[in-house]
Structure 1
Amino acid sequence: MQRITREQSRKYAFDWRDEPLLRVECGEPFEIETFDASTGYFKTPEDKAIPGRRPGFDRTPPTANPIGGPVYLNGAERGDVLVVTLDDIVVDDYSWTAIGPRRGPLGESTRWPELSGDYTTKIFKHTYGASGTTRDGTLHFSDSIRWPITPFVGTLGVCPDREVATSLDGQGPWGGNLDVRDAAVGNRIYLPVYHPGALFSLGDVHASQGDTEFTGTAAETKATVRVRLDLVKQKRIPWMRIEKAGRGAPGMDSAEEHGSLVSVFADKPLEVAVETATFNLMDWLITDYGFTPTDAYCLVSTCPDFRINVYQMCKIGRLSYVAGAEIPKRYVRA
């Protein structure tokens, strides 16, 4: 199996001028070994998020949040849609999060001075599950608080059309640093293609994250990600889409019907991201599932299982807020 090693996963931009590290066929599995968002800087609680100590923080924007790629998919052309399937994510034996002065929404807090007066790094131990790996492992937040590891890829995408976008704060229809927790094992991610080969990259795996990634960092970790790429030829979509896999449930005809459709969008203010993600979900229902505009509009307002996910709402650099409009597939059977 072809692989991009961790030492090769030190790119800090989605740049269409970069030479591909791999060339793959549709459906061919390959692996990308990723660094964490700090490129390995955070290892112990003594490693503080002080900019002057961190490699790459003498640049603007900093060289952080590395990605592995690009991967060239044979047959991909401008105007196609890239289909990304994440088959496996195996995270490292620890993850970290870091807070401190001028970091996140409480980086200048007077209400809780400990959040803005000093830097704090928390290291979370990972223990293996029954598989003998972290696939079904546990994250230990403290001696008394723990939860299942729920990994996802925080930064992924193709190269943008004409611009070069950093992996730290680049976002767009092509992907980027979106921290969408539904970029997880078994789900399919759809992205518009702008260049021959699509030029796909990923990195920034999180062992877990809550809604909004409130502090600006989640449970950041290294990982090995197994991926397959495919194509929908000559189809246009406005932004990233995700087709979540069904988990199976009593009374359901199939696991496929038990999945859901998620339309992703990023913008500021948050209500614009929410509204546009919903508009784009309606377009998906109308274009691919035969809904009338009236039915699609009324469905997202009345369906009790329609959801808005706020994936990322960090006050960091140029990052926009990331929302996803989600509807279960059982309501949209073609």
Structure 2
Amino acid sequence: MSANSAANSIPHPTVIKVDPFVPADKQKGLHNRWHPDIPPVASVKPGQTFKVECVGMSRVGGALGVQAYDRISDWTGGQIGNNDSSDDVKNVDLTKVHNLSGPIAVEGAEPGDCLVVDILDVTPFEKMPWGFTGVFELENGGGLFAREFQSRACKAIWDLNGVFASSRHIPGVRFAGVSHPGLIGTAPSHELLAKWNKREGELIAAHKDAVPPVAYPPEPIGTHVGQDLPKEVLERIRKEGARTIPGREHGGNCDIKNLSKGSRCYFPVFISGANLSVGDLHFSQGDVQMSFCGAIEMAGIITFTTSIIKGGIEKFGLKQPIFLPSPVDPMYSQKLVFEGLSVDINGDGKQYNMDAYVCVAVNRTVAYKQAALNAISYLQKLGYTREQAYLLLSAAPIESHVGAIVDSPNACVTLAVPTGIFENDILPRPEGLLKHNYGQCAIRSDGVL
């Protein structure tokens, strides 16, 4: 190699580093609340390519005093282990989620601008090639079918091998992941934060006995800022900081699988520097996170470059982020497509009017739910348990589309399952479906489902 080549071979800097074997709440440069008073821990220039590490594993005691590095410090902060029991999912503490790397200031960004973020790569840490998907308890997050299934904790551990994922808890499937950040966004202004807390507080008050909860209010317990700040600032963040569980106008936890490497995102800027934060990395996910923890959650490294469009909010009418999807997608050409109508065919048979995805607060995502339940029923005919099917349809690269939204009273939603992810033939045959024994995913130690 020539001297010039060596001199010009400059690696892209990592602006936030994490220790993959230390719990998230013990690390600097991580935070789990949205608040404008959280100062940036790093600064980048527009056009600069940089890497961000998102939390790795936590250390837990192993047999005979040996330390076992079997817990992934993803969005839960290291509460979920690589084992064959879902007791850790049952007991997860949602006050400690998500643990985001940042904030990162972009020089020159001002309120009213548009921050352009190019996602150049998303990879797991080499030293932790595994992730998990989980169904949470009815009373603690639940999932799309929390009430229908009376959700009890279960999970699947996935081994990540190059671009592929497979699981001992869901045998017979192997698929290429579409790795992406589940959570990415800019910091809110004080005014926007107050708006969030007001409207979500009103929703909670209107559904105060809802199980699972309809929203999650500010909560001092479990708050992690990851910086040494004045006591009064920390107290204000603990009291006012918005939980990172839902997505909002700034981006946040939107869990869009197509925000993968090669995507370009346009975020509104609300404070000086924009203060970009990222976390909740996913190795793979379907179009809808069906179970509450519905992606393959992983720790890893994300690579960015940014630019600024001055006055972008006004220029584009930017009420929420917009994005260009990744040009990289798994090539699964054949898909088995399940339809769902806005009739509770799998339940009490009630007719709904044009109910596709709307009004989650009162559990009316009827057409999508019917498509998903039809797919789960079909997978059970192949030998998968309901829990395995639920997890698989959350984690695999499933596509979902609104097929018809005009023909009253029935909206139509489709859910497409790639046939190529299965080792065995799953297509309908005149002789029927061949049923295999695929065991069961990881469930609670008391056996309750």
Q: TM-score, normalised by structure 2?
A: 0.49
Q: Which of the residues 41, 47, 70 maps onto 2:79? A: 41
Greater Cα offset, 158-167 or 170-179: 158-167
Q: Distance in 1 between matches of 2:311 and 2:269?
A: 9
Moved more, 37-46 or 71-80: 37-46
Matched, 1:151 2:184: no
Aligned to 2:155: 121
Bigger CA drift: 88-97 or 69-78? 88-97
Partner of 2:339: none
SS of residue in 2 equivalent to 1:191: strand
2:299 paired residue number: 222
Q: State the distance in 2 between where 1:222 and 1:9 align.
A: 15
- The whole-number CA distance in structure 2 between the counterparts of 1:101 and 1:245 is 33
- Deviation, structure 1 residue 33: 1.2
Give the 3 Å change call, closer, same or farther, for CA 64–140 of structure 1 in structure 2. same
Residue 20 of structure 1: how far off its partner (Å): 0.8
Query: CA separation in 2, counterparts of 1:106 and 1:170?
Result: 18
Sort the Cα spacing of 1:48 and 1:5 in 2 relative to 1 into closer, same or farther, 3 A.
farther
- CA root-mean-square deviation: 2.7
What does 1:290-301 align with in structure 2 at a 5 Å threshold? none
What's the secondary structure of 1:16's corresponding residue?
A: coil
Paired residues, number: 238
- Which of 289, 298, 320 is residue 239 of structure 1 equivalent to? 320
- Give the partner amino acid of 1:89: V
- How far is 1:48 from its partner? 2.5
- Partners of 2:88 and 2:277 in 1: how far apart? 26
Indicate if the aligned counterparts of 1:100 and 1:119 stay in contact, CA closer than 8 A: yes
Q: 1:69 aligns with which of 85, 98, 102?
A: 102
> Amino acid of the residue matched to residue 232 of structure 1?
I
Q: Does the CA contact (< 8 Å) of 2:112 and 2:310 recur in 1?
A: yes
Query: 1:8, 1:76 → 2: CA distance?
Result: 24
Label 1:204 to 1:246 Cα distance change in 2 as closer, same or farther (>3 A): closer
AA partner of residue 239 (structure 1):
Q
Change (3 A) 1:167 1:83: farther
Corresponding residue SS for 1:62: helix
Say whether the 8 Å CA contact 1:155–1:167 is kept in structure 2: no
Please give the alpha-carbon distance, in whole angstroms, between the structure 1 residues aligned to 2:53 and 2:401: 28
Residue 211 (structure 1) shift: 1.9
User: What is aligned with 1:31?
Assistant: 51
- Asked if the contact 1:15–1:165 (Cα under 8 Å) also holds between the matched residues in 2, the reply is yes
Residues 50 and 152 of structure 1: is their aligned pair in 2 closer, same or farther, counting only changes over 3 Å? closer
Provide, for residues 275-298 of structure 1, a one-character-per-residue CA deviation record: whole Å limited to 9, x for no partner.
xxxxxxxxxxxxxxxxxxxxxxxx
Aligned residue among 115, 118, 131 for 1:95: 131
* Aligned-partner Cα distance in 2 for 1:88–1:148: 15
Letter in 1 for 2:164: T
Instruction: Judging by fraction of residues, say which structure has more strand.
Output: 1
- Using the TM superposition, give the Cα deviation of residue 108 of structure 1 relative to its aligned residue in structure 2, in angstroms: 4.1
* Structure 1 residues 145 and 50, CA gap change in structure 2 (3 angstroms): closer
What secondary structure sits across from 2:80 in the alignment? coil
Structure 1 residue ranges, 4+ long, deviating more than 6 angstroms after superposition: none
Distance in 2 of aligned mates of 1:50 and 1:244:
32
Greater Rg over alpha carbons, structure:
2
Q: Gapped runs of 5+ residues in structure 1?
A: 129-136, 249-266, 271-306, 311-334
| Residue 268 to residue 161, structure 1, CA distance change in 2 (3 Å) | farther
1:170-209 correspondence to structure 2 within 5 Å = 170-209=246-285
After TM superposition, give the deviation of residue 38 of structure 1 in Å: 1.5
2:111 and 2:269 in contact (8 A); partners too: yes
Alpha-carbon distance between aligned partners in 1 of 2:303 and 2:256, rounded to the nearest angstrom: 18
Identity of aligned residues (%): 21
Once the two structures are TM-superposed, the CA of residue 19 in structure 1 deviates from its matched residue by: 1.8
Gaps of 5+ in 2: 1-12, 19-26, 56-73, 194-239, 330-356, 361-398, 403-449
Q: Deviations over 1:297-332 (max 9, x none)?
A: xxxxxxxxxx9868xxxxxxxxxxxxxxxxxxxxxx
Q: 1:201 to 1:247 in 2, by over 3 A?
A: closer
Residues 199 and 100 of structure 1: is their aligned pair in 2 closer, same or farther, counting only changes over 3 Å?
closer
Residue aligned with 1:189, SS:
strand
Q: Find the counterpart in structure 1 of residue 32 from structure 2.
A: 12
Give the secondary-structure state (helix, strand or coil) at the position aligned to 2:288: helix
- Contact 1:155–1:204 at 8 Å: present in 2 too? yes
3-state SS of paired residue (1:23): strand
Letter in 2 for 1:121: K
SS at match of 2:75: coil
- Contact 2:136 2:291 (C-alpha < 8 Å) held by counterparts: no
- Using the TM superposition, give the Cα deviation of residue 121 of structure 1 relative to its aligned residue in structure 2, in angstroms: 2.2
Distance 2:247 2:173 in 1: 33
Match of residue 86 from structure 1 = 119
Q: Does the aligned pair in 2 maintain the 1:154–1:178 contact within 8 Å?
A: yes
SS in 2 for 1:212: coil
- Distance between the aligned counterparts of 1:123 and 1:84, measured in 2? 31
